[in-house]
Structure 1
């Protein structure tokens, strides 16, 4: 027989959070908007702030609490907006500062908060500082970057994360550091002028009503003062950077930056900082979220784990232990703009979709703050972008050996019209080509289909808002073979999330009420439930 789902009111998490004394960010569901690919308001084929404003009702309907917007600033265009030339402006392709202010106001009216991306590790080579530093080696701006004198060889063995050496030359022969693309010179945070300028930038946007910042490369900023060789080489297969990158990342001085930024945010009630901290050791990641530093730092273990009960159990347990030790919530991530879409990572096709549905229920059951990447709620797969259309510097700097990240950045499908509703009728071609098959994933289609991935996310978010044990409870994790169970408890009520990551159906005892199942139908009796492979269920214990 088909499982009966408990009936819930479609309350949103932000409605419940408003009634709680706990800070909103500790349990907030944050929706990541890749601005260039979300919604095109003016028909130029590029997503913009006007398009995003028009889609805010969708985010409210979905039930998220906040949106994080990838960089909106003027940029050199070398790395998807992460090479910034002006930190206190809006790229004309996206609108202007008044458009962002209007977005914040509209979002607030819907109960949504707006979090901006900020990039303190490096600027664009088009930034006025770097232009001045290139023109005059003795200028004050030159000390704000890492320059080394002209020589035959680079100063050390450091490598760019995008491929090749991390050092390039200026026209006068000096070397400059860029741990990403050559168009992204790294800032020298040992120069006080850098810190002072960024604090002005924080206040500029906080004064316009934003609720915080996602901090790019928060584990970077400071480098070894003596520019000594790294003992190893960058490896994209690691969970994050470890001892092999000892001279380029995770220097002790960086924590003082976050203490200063935390003090700035403390001047603006209810604002927050979440850091991108790609380190191998979760205990090191958690240190960035100590009470006087960042409010959150991303936990990437699930994002980088294969479909394995052992890997997921270790990822959940290690994160809860590490962040619990510093009193911080875990920021859970299953997808973002830097990683292949989870449907594809988990096997693709029907299997990948089933696993992505189950993983979503697991993440949304965990205590802390889950981040949802735009399009993951639709079950979008990794798109196959033709080589001639690729924009990612990873693809180009590796000579095509690494596919890069364009496949997870393809524009959102909104309806079944030509162009899937990303742009208005008669618009220019989208900045990345949209697969012709993506109409099947469109928001308009899935919103009408009770079995769709989108409707599953909406039900899960509504239930998460209703049940304190989901999102804010104390959790315990057990694993038996391919069966992973997370039991969360708050206010004397418990909810179990059980995920079958094995190959065969498992019979569960189900005392209590089945709230939600990731599969449309499962066999159930009064006391048991047959949980198929690649399926998750939420059970409220009586």
Structure 2
């Protein structure tokens, strides 16, 4: 056998070492990069992009949990779509794992379930209950079961209860009848509901697109700032004072944000929509608060902030850290979209768009994932805490940027609980607010150059409440108040009426006691939903932005009232509840002679008629009214001021039926026209 030359062996060895070294170096430099970062995701459908570096390949293997599939590479780039499970570990590999990407973790933030709209309609001699499938995420066969609420006024049998369409005989006993729909999909189940209002005259099924629950017309709302209601008291302190609030006559409490916030305060700098702010208490204490309110007959609505988050929200911080590779980059607005109110935009150093409030950055509702996120957030508080509605903070911004979304949100919430109140912090004078799907909105003017101008407000001032009642000339006060009531507001839809709220300086600081009581008398005589801001009922004077506590744990609310105004509000609320004509009913202006400082309006429902009179002058006057201008079934002999029980005769003079009413300076009268 011929011997191998040692020199040749040495050369071969050197070549092999060189080849191995080059190959090893190339492997070290080879990379598979997934652009997306770990995230909580809010849609199962996700697109992931990536690139390769340091090697050439035509395809890669993608690993998604236990599944594998191939993806093509074009110009060193690749992309693929996944249908996410609850938890998703994703990575890419080449040549049986010799080159691998880092592992990506995506966690689905909610459990997708079928979305089904229950619809009731009168059909011949009965009610037809129909299930309309809006979304079936897994395309599984659905199971159906209709059942009546156990608290319905009478038992009504359901035919075809296990079918998408069922039939119910029309109930005879008046009242509201709820019908529930249990949907099953594999091992998942979800319940939806609708209702039918049976009156003596008709059977009216709930129309999810246009109707609101009857209780909304009668709502008297009390706004609570949890972090200052009682010093360091939180949910427990509010619970302790619910009976006092109910005794005032309130039937609905509205809690400013209870979710996790960055700085505390009023709570609008959201850090986590699905967590309770620990400074206020825990989940169990919030549930006790809500349950205790319901025992007392109080509805509970929560303040939610869909327009923006804190700039230090984890999603926003992820954007700053990872830029466009952040899963959340497209959760936020980064450019001027020229939408309404875009003149108020600012852009911060990290290219986040915001309105007036630095550090509160706009969400981008053109992103379907943001819509799903917020929809799931809203569903959570309804399902977990059985709340009765939402007040949507700064929703005028969301509506301006994404006018279609609110309609979807309404549908997905009201199929869960149709009697929810959806209150928009937006202009009631904009008809679009109601067509977008909100039940009620704020008593703001239509002026878009001033987003939140209250109809009684004349000038913006951050420390003073400047209203029509502050004007120097009493005739101008009456003229502008008339404009506010009959030109700049809405009378035929639910409107939030207020003198104070969490953004307004206290009314009594710039109006004397008589003016304050006069304005309150007007407030509670208008159609809509009157609001009391915590502390208003005892004439608290410090600004809502103050960190001072409003009440004390060891003292009753009423004990802090030095002006006797608590009893006055109690009387106004009691009378409003007593007389249907003062609630959501007809209203007309009334002509008055002999007093330029008097504004009058006619409130009526059925055979019940009121004239509400305000003298906006500090001096006494006499208002003369010809009752023939009103639509009355008959002219009564007298009118009674229900606030004092004092009566005023009606004098017949030829073709006139004259009512002469003396009015003290800065006073209000509710005159019941009665036989």
Fold shared by both chains (TM-score > 0.5): yes
Q: State the Cα distance separating 1:423 from its structure 2 match.
A: 4.1
Matched with 1:306 is 468
Q: State the Cα distance separating 1:271 from its structure 2 match.
A: 0.7
Aligned-partner Cα distance in 2 for 1:382–1:189: 37
Is residue 2:514 matched to residue 1:354? yes
Is residue 2:493 matched to residue 1:334? no
Matched with 2:224 is 33
Is residue 2:533 matched to residue 1:533? no
Contact kept? 1:78, 1:183, Cα under 8 Å:
no
| Match 2:302 to one of 113, 116, 124 | 116
Matched with 1:434 is none
Matched with 2:408 is 260
Contact kept? 1:115, 1:212, Cα under 8 Å:
yes
Is residue 2:572 matched to residue 1:460? yes
The 3 A distance-change label for structure 1 pair 479 and 166 is farther
| Match 1:96 to one of 264, 279, 282 | 282
Q: State the Cα distance separating 1:159 from its structure 2 match.
A: 8.9
| Match 1:221 to one of 398, 421, 427 | 398
Aligned-partner Cα distance in 2 for 1:412–1:494: 38
| Match 2:374 to one of 179, 187, 198 | 198
The 3 A distance-change label for structure 1 pair 296 and 509 is same
Q: Please identify which structure carries the higher strand content.
A: 2
SS at match of 2:671: strand
Structure 1, residues 22-55: CA drift from partner, whole Å, max 9, x if none?
611123111111112212xxxxx33411110001
Q: State the Cα distance separating 1:472 from its structure 2 match.
A: 2.3
Task: Show the 5 A alignment for 1:382-397.
Answer: 382=542
Matched with 2:326 is 139
Aligned-partner Cα distance in 2 for 1:215–1:319: 22
Is residue 2:584 matched to residue 1:472? yes
Q: Please identify which structure carries the higher helix content.
A: 1
Q: State the Cα distance separating 1:374 from its structure 2 match.
A: 1.3
Structure 1, residues 382-420: CA drift from partner, whole Å, max 9, x if none?
45xxxxxxxxxxxxxxxxxxxxx525x64224xxxxxxx
Structure 1, residues 299-356: CA drift from partner, whole Å, max 9, x if none?
1334523212222222221355x463xxx2222122101011111233xxxxx22111
SS at match of 2:642: strand
Number of residue pairs matched by the alignment: 413
Task: Show the 5 A alignment for 1:227-306.
Answer: 250-251=400-401, 253-254=402-403, 256-267=404-415, 268-278=417-427, 283-284=429-430, 286-290=431-435, 293-300=437-444, 301-304=454-457, 305-306=467-468
Structure 1, residues 99-141: CA drift from partner, whole Å, max 9, x if none?
2211111111100000000101110122221121111112120
Matched with 2:536 is 376
| Match 1:169 to one of 349, 354, 368 | 349
Aligned-partner Cα distance in 2 for 1:363–1:303: 11
Aligned-partner Cα distance in 2 for 1:20–1:80: 42
Matched with 2:106 is none
**Structure 1: 5+ residue stretches without partners:** 1-16, 40-44, 150-154, 223-249, 347-351, 384-404, 414-421, 426-440
Q: State the Cα distance separating 1:217 from its structure 2 match.
A: 1.0
Aligned-partner Cα distance in 1 for 2:603–2:468: 24
Query: What is the TM-score with the length of structure 1 in the denominator?
Result: 0.70
| Match 1:181 to one of 333, 347, 357 | 357
Query: What is the TM-score with the length of structure 2 in the denominator?
Result: 0.57
Shifted more, 175-184 versus 96-105: the winner is 175-184
Aligned-partner Cα distance in 1 for 2:198–2:588: 23
Matched with 1:126 is 312
Matched with 2:549 is 411
Aligned-partner Cα distance in 2 for 1:488–1:534: 21
RMSD: 3.0
